[in-house]
C-alpha cells in the first residue's frame, strides 16, 4: 500500500465518507477506491468551507476533511482555514507537501510553517513509517479540549511511498476526553447567579460543541434567567423559547440590548468573551462569570469575577444541581416575569421595524425578503447561514433559529463568500434539511462559481443573492472615490449565471412574489436541484442596534 492509502483507510476507520478536495492530490484516488466520495470544488477556499460546514453540522462526528496540492493549493486555502480556526471548527486538513529534498527551501511554500498560527495542531509525515502515529495524534488533537482545524502535511514522495498494510493494525480511534469543573468553583457561580437582581445568560458555540442545549434550557427554566447567544452560538438555545432574547453580535434586537445594558451579572457559557467587531460590547461595571473548556479565555478581554474550566454539558449539570440545592424549587415568579418582559420588548421592537418587514417598496428591502422567508419555512427543519457584510447584519437579529445547528453563525474572520461552502457542507451532513445561504452580490462575485459544485455534486442547496448592484455597506467608507470613479458599483446577472451552470434559478423583482419564489425554490431543492434566487434589492442602510468593537 502507499502511504496515501493508509491515510484513506484511517479516514474510513474514523467514519469519514466524504473528502472535500481540489486537484492535484492523489489523496483523491486513494479515498475514492475505498468508497470515500470526493467532493471536487472549484477553488480551495470553498472546499475548506464545505469541510467546515460539514463538521459544524455533524459536530465533528464524522469529521469534515479537505485535501489539496502543495504550493498554490495550500496557499489558496489559507483564508478558509483562518475562518475555521477563528470559529474553533474541528476539521482535518491534508495538504500535500513539496518532496522532502525540497522541503522548506525558499521559495517553496510550507504548510507546516505558514499555517502554524491558524491551526490547532500541525505535523508533517516526514517518513512513511510515521503515518499511523501522526494520524493518531491528529485525531487526538481534534477531539481534545477546544476544537479547531488540525493539519497533516504529506510530502509527495512520502505519500507515494510503499508501506506495509500491517501498519494499520497499530491504529485505533482516540475517544474524546472531557471533564467536570471544580465543585467549589461551580458553587460560587451558583450563589452569585441566584443572588443577582437582573442576571443574563450569554451562551456561545461551546454549548453546541458539547451538545448542552437541553442542559442550558433546564438551567434557564429553573432559574428564570433570560438567554442570549453569540453569533457563533446562534441556535444553541431555541429562539422560539420564551426565555430567548435572540442572538447578539454587532447588531441585536431591543430585548438583547436592554438585558445586556441593565444586567448586573452576565454568565458566559461556552463563550470566549472575545472583544471583536462581530461581538456585543458588554458595558463596564457588571459581574462576569464564565464557563469554558479553554483557560486562555478567562480574563482575556474582560475582568472575570469567577470561572469554571470544564465541558459545558458536564458543568451545566453541576450548576443545575448546585442551584437546586440552594433554591429547592423552580423560580416560577421570576420565570413568568422574565417571559413577560421579553415579550413586551420584542413586540415593541418589531413594531419599529414593521415598515421594513412589510415594505412594498421597489427595489425591495432585504428585510421584507427575510420576513417572508420566515413565514414559509420551518426553522426546526431548516439550516440557514449568512454571508459577510449587510446580509449578516440584516438577518441575525430577525431570524429565529429552532434547534441546535439549525443556523451557522460565523464572522470573527469573515471572508466574503464563506457561506456558500458552509451551506454545501451542511447539506451533505443533513440532507433532509432545507439548507439556505443568504449572501450579497459582492460575496457571490468572490466565490459564485462554486454554485456549480453544488449542481454537479447533486447537493441541492438554496443560494439567496441580495443584488443591489453596489457595495452598500461601504457607502460611508468609499464616498469620495465613488463620486469620482463609481468604486462601489457592481454588475451581474446572477440568475443567468446560475442557469448557465445548470442550476435552477429565478430573479425576483416584485416583493409580493417573495413567498411564492421561496416555495418554488424549495420545491426545486426537494427535486434534487441546486437553486438560486436573485432578489433585486435596495441599498438598505438601516440596522438594528449596532454596538460592537471595531
Strands (DSSP E) found in 182-223: 199-203
Give me the domains of the chain, ranges plus CATH numbers.
3-170 (3.40.50.970), 183-348 (3.40.50.1220), 353-536 (3.40.50.970)
b/e 151-190 (16+ beta carbons within 10 angstroms → b)? bbbbbbbbbebebeeebbeebeebebebeebeeebbbbbb
| Mean pLDDT, range 436-452, rounded to an integer | 95
pLDDT value of position 117: 95
Q: Are strands 306-309 and 244-247 parallel, antiparallel or unpaired?
A: unpaired
Instruction: Determine the Cα–Cα distance for residues 343 and 356; give it in Å rounded to an integer.
Output: 20
How large is the average pLDDT for residues 272-282?
88
Contact yes or no for 543/270 (Cβ under 8 A): no
Rounded to whole angstroms, the Cα distance separating 60 from 82 reads: 18
The radius of gyration of the chain from alpha carbons, rounded to an integer in Å, stands at: 24
pLDDT, one tens digit per residue, over 10-26 is 999 999 999 999 998 99
CB atoms within 10 A of CB 536: 19
Side-chain-side CA neighbours of 430 within 13 Å: the count stands at 23
Q: What burial class does residue 218 get, using C-beta atoms within 10 Å of its C-beta: 0-12 exposed, 13-18 middle, 19+ buried?
A: middle
Mean pLDDT of 268-284: 91
pLDDT band (50, 70, 90) for residue 487? confident
Q: What is the pLDDT of residues 14-69, one digit of tens each?
A: 999 999 999 989 999 999 999 999 999 999 999 999 999 999 999 989 999 999 99
Query: What are the DSSP E strand ranges found in 62-148?
Result: 64-68, 91-97, 121-124
Average pLDDT over residues 463-480: 87
Q: How confident is the model at residue 327 (pLDDT cuts 50, 70, 90)?
A: confident
The 10s digit of each residue's pLDDT in 373-429 is 999 999 999 999 999 888 999 999 999 999 999 999 998 777 889 999 999 999 999
Q: Is 65 helix (H, G, I), strand (E, B) or coil?
A: strand
- Fill in the DSSP letter of residue 123: E
SS3 per-residue string spanning 454-510: HHHCCCCCEEEEEECCECHHHCCCCHHHHHHHCCCECCCCHHHHHHHCCCEEEEECC
CB neighbours of residue 40 within 10 Å: 14
Rounded CA-CA distance 504/527 in Å is: 10
Q: Which of 176, 152, 16 is nearest to 92 (CA)?
A: 152
Q: What is the mean pLDDT of residues 459-468?
A: 97
- Written as nine digits, the cell of 191 is 450563589
| CB 349, CB 253: distance < 8 Å | yes
- Sign of the C-alpha dihedral computed for residues 37, 63, 399 and 79 taken in this order: negative
Q: Is 550 a residue whose pLDDT tops 60? A: no
Q: How many residues appear in the chain?
A: 550
Q: Can you say how many angstroms the Cα of residue 145 is from the centroid of all Cα atoms in its chain?
A: 18
Three-class SS of 75-95: HHCHHHHHHHHHCCCCEEEEE
pLDDT of residue 547: 57
Question: Phi/psi zone of residue 486: left (φ > 0), alpha (ψ -120 to 50 degrees), beta?
Answer: left
Whose CA is closest to 364, among 475, 492, 466?
466
Helices (H) and strands (E) in the chain, counts: 23, 18
The predicted-structure confidence for 129-179, as pLDDT tens digits, reads as follows 999 999 999 999 999 999 999 999 999 999 999 999 999 999 999 999 999
For residue 355, the tally of other CB atoms under 10 A from its CB is 12
Compute the distance between CA of residue 254 and CA of residue 332 in angstroms, rounded to an integer. 24
CA distances from 476 to 108, 239, 251, 482, 484 (A): 41, 33, 18, 10, 15
Q: Which residues are within 8 A (CB) of 214 and not within 5 positions of it... i.e. 6 or more apart?
A: none
Q: Categorize the per-residue pLDDT at 474 as very low, low, confident or very high, splitting at 50, 70 and 90.
A: confident
Helices (H), 224-361: 254-262, 312-327, 332-352, 354-357
Mention every residue, 6+ apart, whose C-beta is less than 8 A from residue 514: 364, 368, 369, 372, 373, 508, 535
Helix, strand and coil content of the chain, in percent to the nearest 5, comes to: 45, 20, 35
| Average pLDDT of the residues of the chain | 95
pLDDT at 549 over 80: no
Q: What is the pLDDT of residues 111-133, one digit of tens each?
A: 999 999 999 999 999 999 999 99
Amino acid at each position: 500500500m502507499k502511504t496515501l492509502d493508509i491515510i484513506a483507510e484511517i479516514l474510513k476507520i474514523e467514519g469519514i465518507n466524504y473528502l472535500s478536495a481540489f486537484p492535484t492530490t492523489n489523496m483523491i484516488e486513494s479515498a475514492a477506491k475505498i468508497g470515500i466520495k470526493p467532493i471536487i470544488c472549484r477553488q480551495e477556499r470553498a472546499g475548506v468551507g464545505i469541510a467546515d460546514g460539514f463538521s459544524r453540522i455533524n459536530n465533528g462526528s464524522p469529521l469534515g476533511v479537505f485535501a489539496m496540492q502543495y504550493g498554490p493549493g495550500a496557499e489558496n486555502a489559507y483564508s478558509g482555514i483562518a475562518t475555521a480556526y477563528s470559529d474553533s471548527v474541528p476539521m482535518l486538513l491534508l495538504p500535500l507537501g513539496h518532496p522532502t529534498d525540497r522541503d522548506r527551501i525558499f521559495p517553496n511554500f510550507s504548510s507546516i510553517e505558514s499555517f502554524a498560527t491558524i491551526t490547532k495542531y500541525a505535523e508533517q509525515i516526514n517518513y512513511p513509517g510515521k503515518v499511523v502515529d501522526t494520524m493518531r495524534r491528529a485525531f487526538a488533537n481534534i477531539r481534545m479540549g477546544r476544537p479547531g482545524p488540525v493539519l497533516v502535511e504529506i510530502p509527495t514522495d512520502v505519500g507515494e511511498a510503499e508501506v506495509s498494510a500491517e501498519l494499520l493494525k497499530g491504529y485505533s480511534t482516540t475517544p474524546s476526553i472531557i471533564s467536570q469543573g471544580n465543585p467549589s468553583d461551580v458553587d460560587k457561580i451558583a450563589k452569585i447567579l441566584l443572588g443577582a437582581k437582573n442576571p443574563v445568560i450569554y451562551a456561545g458555540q461551546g454549548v453546541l460543541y458539547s451538545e448542552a442545549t437541553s442542559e442550558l434550557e433546564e438551567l434557564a427554566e429553573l432559574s428564570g434567567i433570560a438567554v442570549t447567544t453569540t453569533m457563533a452560538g446562534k441556535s444553541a438555545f431555541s429562539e422560539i423559547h420564551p426565555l430567548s432574547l435572540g442572538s447578539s453580535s454587532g447588531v441585536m434586537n431591543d430585548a438583547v440590548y436592554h438585558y445586556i445594558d441593565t444586567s448586573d451579572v452576565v454568565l458566559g457559557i461556552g463563550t470566549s468573551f472575545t472583544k471583536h467587531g462581530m461581538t456585543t460590547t458588554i458595558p463596564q461595571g457588571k459581574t462576569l462569570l464564565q464557563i469554558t473548556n479553554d483557560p486562555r479565555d478567562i480574563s482575556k478581554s474582560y475582568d472575570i469575577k469567577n470561572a469554571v474550566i470544564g465541558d459545558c454539558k458536564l458543568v451545566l449539570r453541576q450548576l443545575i444541581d448546585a442551584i437546586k440545592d440552594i433554591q429547592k424549587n423552580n423560580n416560577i415568579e421570576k420565570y413568568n416575569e422574565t417571559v413577560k418582559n421579553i415579550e413586551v420588548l420584542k413586540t415593541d421592537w418589531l413594531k419599529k421595524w414593521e415598515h421594513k418587514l412589510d415594505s412594498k417598496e421597489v427595489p425591495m428591502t432585504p428585510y421584507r425578503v427575510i420576513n417572508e422567508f420566515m413565514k414559509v419555512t420551518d426553522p426546526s427543519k431548516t439550516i440557514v447561514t449568512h454571508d459577510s457584510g449587510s446580509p449578516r447584519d440584516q438577518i441575525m437579529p430577525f431570524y429565529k433559529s429552532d434547534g441546535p445547528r439549525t443556523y451557522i453563525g460565523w464572522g470573527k474572520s469573515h471572508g466574503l463568500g464563506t457561506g456558500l461552502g458552509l451551506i454545501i457542507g451542511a447539506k451533505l451532513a443533513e440532507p433532509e434539511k432545507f439548507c439556505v445561504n443568504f449572501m450579497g452580490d459582492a460575496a457571490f462575485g468572490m466565490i459564485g462559481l462554486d454554485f456549480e459544485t453544488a449542481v454537479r455534486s447533486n447537493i441541492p442547496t438554496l443560494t439567496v443573492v441580495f443584488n443591489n448592484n453596489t457595495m452598500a455597506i461601504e457607502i460611508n467608507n468609499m464616498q469620495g472615490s465613488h463620486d469620482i470613479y463609481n468604486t462601489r458599483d457592481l454588475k451581474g446577472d446572477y440568475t443567468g449565471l446560475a442557469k448557465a451552470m445548470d442550476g435552477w434559478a429565478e430573479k425576483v423583482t416584485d416583493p409580493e412574489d417573495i413567498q411564492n419564489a421561496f416555495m418554488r425554490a424549495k420545491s426545486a431543492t426537494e427535486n434534487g436541484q441546486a437553486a438560486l434566487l436573485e432578489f433585486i434589492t435596495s441599498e438598505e442602510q438601516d440596522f438594528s442596534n449596532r454596538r460592537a468593537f471595531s
